[in-house]
């Protein structure tokens, strides 16, 4: 009897221990995102970076004394140098013309003197400067432009008409560029001490010593713009940092997104995991009882949009009115945004979640429509005509479509 049970047990035990431990058979076949990211970075050639600071008379107040303007830009340029994100870094002052500067970050901006900074010409047309910069921006050259972005129509010119015309010029120049090139633009707004002359829309000066906004624009191939921001994220700007941000991109590559299988009462098709099957409403005592819920994790990093934009439900539409949306950071590596969709009307359907190209609300909030009296309440923190300048860009990018991307999901019920 004992022999019988030993005969029974022994081969089974041998088989069991040989089966335990799965060795390498379950190693994922998919390459890790990190190794893929490194491979892409290595294969994409580094761009040349042209750094332009507008040096018209209206900018002098930003370099009078030790200001956040100087510190933020000096630190940013140093970060660009250290990160080795650029093949070369070229420094310029710009107004109606472009003036190349010797490569000395401290003299260029860190410790710049008004005499060496100010242009003898004094004025600048922003839309012309942008057109000039775009003309030298291409797949191998990324441009960074720093300015107060104030329009200067001058005396005797209708400001309203001037601003609309400027918006159309910006739109035209940008649209023409987009017809031939891929383009991403990121605009940061910062604050800095300003001690000097402020010129209003009719070029009348007012001496002020207060805090004023200035803008840093990044323009170039979307991959280079995204890589620059990956290497030097917003959090690296010193002082009070980025106050506001606007981003536009003509990226058309497919966005990575997936459905979190544990986010609701359903299963996923194993062949096509963007197809929900056996969907049912939740039961139990949770807040989403009698509702159907699921979460999409999406990677919107190619668009360089900030969290404020990505978490705003007004920047999305769903082509199924039965569903509501809520947004948060994704907790999953390789994804930026978690999109939770909920409905009480569960039925088989296809859903498209559209990420819209919307001008951020701050652009309207920061716009000074009058541009006459800087001492008027609220005017100090605003920029004359900024919504027309940035609005022209959005008009260009939304010529063909106002949607960045659509996330599509099919749902079948149990």
Kindly list the residues in this chain that would bind other proteins in the complex (CB under 8 A).
1, 4, 7-9, 11-13, 15-16, 19-22, 25-26, 28-30, 32-33, 256-262, 268, 270-271, 273, 297, 328-334, 338
For 78, 211, 336, the CA distances from 68, given in Å and listed in that order, are: 15, 10, 30
Neighbouring C-beta atoms of residue 290, cutoff 10 Å? 11
3-state secondary structure of 306: coil
Distance of closest approach, residue 276 Cβ to other proteins, in angstroms: 13
Distance of closest approach, residue 15 Cβ to other proteins, in angstroms: 6
Going across the sheet that includes 184-199, the strands are 98-101, 88-94, 48-54, 141-147, 205-220, 184-199, 244-249
H or E stretch covering 178: helix 159-180
- Number of helices (H), then strands (E), belonging to the chain: the values are 11, 18
The DSSP 8-state label assigned to residue 302 in this structure reads: G
Burial of 165 (0-12, 13-18, 19+ CB in 10 A): middle
Distance of closest approach, residue 327 Cβ to other proteins, in angstroms: 10
Nearer to other proteins, 25 or 179 (CB): 25
The DSSP bridge pattern shows strands 141-147 and 48-54 to be parallel
Nearer to other proteins, 31 or 65 (CB): 31
Nearer to other proteins, 24 or 180 (CB): 24
Distance of closest approach, residue 5 Cβ to other proteins, in angstroms: 9
Nearer to other proteins, 83 or 263 (CB): 263
Nearer to other proteins, 139 or 308 (CB): 308
Distance of closest approach, residue 271 Cβ to other proteins, in angstroms: 8
Distance of closest approach, residue 259 Cβ to other proteins, in angstroms: 7
Tokens of 109: 């901006």
Nearer to other proteins, 4 or 285 (CB): 4
């Amino acid at each position: 009897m004992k022999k019988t049970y030993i005969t029974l047990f022994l081969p089974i035990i041998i088989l069991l221990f040989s089966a335990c431990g799965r060795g390498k058979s379950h190693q994922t076949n998919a390459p890790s995102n990190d190794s893929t990211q490194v491979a892409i970075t290595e294969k994409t050639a580094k761009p040349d970076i042209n750094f332009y600071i507008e040096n018209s008379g209206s900018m002098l107040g930003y370099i009078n004394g030790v200001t956040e303007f100087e510190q933020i830009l000096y630190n940013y340029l140093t970060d660009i140098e250290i990160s080795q994100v650029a093949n070369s870094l070229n420094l310029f002052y710009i107004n109606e013309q472009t003036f190349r500067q010797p490569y000395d970050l401290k003299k260029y901006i860190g410790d710049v003197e008004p005499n060496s900074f100010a242009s003898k010409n004094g004025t600048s047309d922003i839309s012309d400067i942008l057109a000039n910069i775009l003309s030298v921006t291409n797949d191998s050259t990324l441009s960074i432009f720093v300015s107060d972005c104030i329009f200067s129509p001058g005396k005797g010119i209708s400001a309203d008409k001037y601003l609309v015309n400027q918006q159309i010029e910006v739109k035209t120049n940008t649209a023409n560029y987009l017809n031939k090139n891929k383009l991403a633009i990121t605009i940061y707004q910062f604050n800095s001490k300003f001690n000097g002359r402020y010129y209003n829309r009719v070029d009348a000066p007012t001496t002020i010593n207060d805090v004023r906004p200035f803008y840093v624009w990044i323009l170039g191939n979307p991959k280079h713009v995204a890589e620059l921001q990956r290497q030097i994220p917003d959090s690296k700007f010193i002082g009070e940092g980025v106050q506001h941000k606007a981003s536009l991109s003509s990226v058309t590559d497919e966005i990575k997104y997936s459905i979190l299988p544990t986010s609701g009462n359903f299963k996923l098709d194993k062949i096509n995991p963007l197809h929900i099957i056996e969907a049912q409403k939740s039961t139990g005592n949770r807040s989403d009882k009698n509702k159907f819920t699921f979460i999409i994790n999406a990677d919107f990093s190619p668009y360089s949009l900030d969290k404020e934009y990505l978490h705003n439900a007004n920047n999305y539409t769903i082509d199924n009115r039965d569903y509501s949306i809520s947004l948060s950071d994704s907790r999953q590596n390789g994804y930026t945004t978690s999109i939770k969709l909920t409905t009480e009307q569960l039925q088989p359907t296809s859903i498209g979640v559209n990420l819209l190209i919307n001008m951020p609300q701050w652009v309207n909030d920061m716009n000074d429509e009058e541009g006459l009296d800087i001492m008027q309440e609220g005017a100090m923190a605003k920029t004359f005509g900024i919504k027309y300048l940035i609005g022209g860009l959005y008009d260009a990018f939304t010529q063909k479509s106002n949607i960045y991307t659509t996330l599509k999901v099919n749902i079948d019920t149990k």
